[in-house]
Amino acid sequence: RYRKLLAELGMNPNEFAVEVGFHNTKSYNFLKGESEPSYKTIQQILTRFPQVNANFLLKGEMPVVHSSGAELIGSAYGDTRHT
């Protein structure tokens, strides 16, 4: 899954680690299958990349990323100002 995620995001393991905020060793361990991401790490990934499908990370369910507006954080719905 990790390899698919990196490919979909167009990133290498170092770039991904920097973006998410963890050491690149952790990223390479995921890539090699030596460790699995913790719940906290999955939260970090989803916070930084909200377009990523949580079901893909947890269960391998496709798609890797959402193709609709599902990736948007926040919305105009809470904004009661009229323009």
Buried-state track 3-18, b at ≥16 Cβ within 10 A, e below 16: eebbebbebebeebbe
∠ CA 19-39-55, nearest 5°, is 85
Q: What is the pTM for the complete model shown?
A: 0.77
- For CA atoms 26, 32, 33, 34, the dihedral sign is negative
Average pLDDT over residues 46-72: 87
Distance (Å, whole) CA 38 – CA 47: 14
Confidence of residue 64 (pLDDT cuts 50, 70, 90): very high
Task: Report pLDDT for 83.
Answer: 38
